[in-house]
Amino acid sequence: MGNKLGKGDLLYFDANGTTQVHPEVQKAICDALQHYGNPSTSSSLGKTSKALIASSTATILKNVFDTDAGNLIYTSCGTESNQLAIQLVLQSYQSSHPEGPIPHILTSTIEHPATINYLRHLESLNQITLTCVRPSSSGQVPLPTLLSSLKPTTILLTLIYAQNETGSIQPLSEISSLLKSTSPHLKIHADASQAVGKVSCTVSGGLSGVDLITITGHKFGSPKGISLLYTSTTYPPTSSGGYILKGGGQMNGLRSGTENVPYIVGLSKATEVCCNLEKEYNSIMVNFKNSLTSEIDKVVFNCNSDEEGLVNTLSIGFDDIPKKITSSYIISLCEKNGLIIAAGSACETGKGSYVLRECRVGDDIGRCTLRVSCGFWNTREEGRRAGRILGKVVKEIIEKG
Ligand SMILES: Cc1ncc(COP(=O)(O)O)c(C=O)c1O
């Protein structure tokens, strides 16, 4: 499909930062814009909008989760979905245990800031106690540590299913069956923002036994501004109209705010056209890796991202890079040569990566680590060209010393 981004022909390999909006998604959104009725109203216009939400929901449930049961709560972004998941579980516990002890939440040290900063905030308000488990150098959270961190008061395990910087994947269905055999009332939330279309998110496969799942539209072909939270059970509505956003009581009283019907339709279209691309992503990244490593042999793939991680993602460091060189410098040279890539996560630009540190990547490698991630628009030939550009840029840096 190529990369016509309006800035000449750039090779865009930062899909984990955000993706292009798929042309079919754009068309679906434009078509849906004519249906302007408010879905909460009883006019025929409102009913049409409501029906569009219902049919989009059925499509998404089938395409992503492979089910016709479960609930979808549409939100504005992955950040909101993660925080809504935490609030659904926390407020349900608080209303059923008004005099109960402070609940405990279990998570990892490599969560996205949308999760970890929120949990720390709740901890600082004494609303929860928190345990953050550190992963091994492969980026995976050790199951025995998760198990031994459970307490009688643990209400929730929230984990990032596919890590945005390293691509490491947590075996959530295995984790769920292990932990729930000890704590049957434990709720499990997966932040699957980076997972859709790259690793199984079905509720009988990769995410079996997971109760709440975050999906983020702009990571797989939808525009920014639309995401969702899947819940396997139905949560009761709040009298104030929502668990975080309070007001008119849309989304069955769970999340207020008039629904963004055209973007919901677009999100549903994205699940048709941007899923099942694993094989293509694999071919693109194999080409990338081969042409990179044929230019230079000083490449380090952090957290085994070349073997075990998300199929579209590589976390790449280099041996022998001079100390003064940072990833932002390499990124700027790549852009001059027509290649867009990222350092760590998009939200963290300019700061060192805590994710890499937690995964025991040393500062020498971490300082110049790059994240390369492909999306539906990339071709295998682009993979080859992108690897060559990065290889040449780094080779020149090392040779200059
Ligand atoms: C794993 C993960 N979770 C959550 C988010 C937050 O998504 P948003 O920026 O849409 O709120 C991101 C975005 O990068 C992400 O990669």
For 190-245, write each residue's pLDDT tens digit. 999 999 999 999 999 999 999 999 999 999 999 999 999 999 999 999 999 999 99
What residue spans of 337-379 are helical by DSSP H? 354-358, 363-366
Specify the pTM.
0.96
Average predicted confidence (pLDDT) for the chain? 95
Q: Is the CB of 305 under 6 A from ligand 1?
A: no
> What CATH number should be reported for the domain whose range is 11-19+276-400?
3.90.1150.10
Fold of 23-273: Aspartate Aminotransferase; domain 2 (3.40.640)
The sign one gets for the Cα dihedral 393, 296, 326, 135 is positive
> How far does residue 324's CA lie from ligand 1's centre (Å)?
30
What per-residue confidence (pLDDT) applies to 2?
Answer: 47
> How far does residue 77's CA lie from ligand 1's centre (Å)?
7
Percent pLDDT > 90 in the chain is: 91
Whole-angstrom Cα distance, residue 203 to residue 207?
A: 5
Q: How confident is the model at residue 19 (pLDDT cuts 50, 70, 90)?
A: very high
Q: How confident is the model at residue 347 (pLDDT cuts 50, 70, 90)?
A: low
Q: Would you list the domain boundaries of the chain?
A: 11-19+276-400, 23-273
C-beta of residue 365 within 8 angstroms of C-beta of residue 317: yes
Q: What distance separates the 2 farthest-apart alpha carbons in the chain? A: 70
* Mean pLDDT of the region 275-303: 96
pLDDT at 315 over 80: yes
Q: How confident is the model at residue 134 (pLDDT cuts 50, 70, 90)?
A: very high
Q: Is the CB of 114 under 6 A from ligand 1?
A: yes
By most ligand atoms within 8 Å of CB, the mutation choice from 216, 222, 267 for ligand 1 is: 216
> How far does residue 279's CA lie from ligand 1's centre (Å)?
24
Nearest CA to 193 among 160, 165, 240, 238?
160
Structural Rg of the chain based on CA atoms:
22
> How far does residue 241's CA lie from ligand 1's centre (Å)?
25
What per-residue confidence (pLDDT) applies to 352?
Answer: 74
Q: How confident is the model at residue 401 (pLDDT cuts 50, 70, 90)?
A: confident
Q: Which residues contact 175 (CB under 8 A, 6 or more apart)?
A: 141, 143, 146, 157, 159, 188
C-beta of residue 390 within 8 angstroms of C-beta of residue 35: no
C-beta of residue 343 within 8 angstroms of C-beta of residue 369: yes
pLDDT digits (tens, 9 = 90+) for 61-100: 999 999 999 999 999 999 999 999 999 999 999 999 999 9
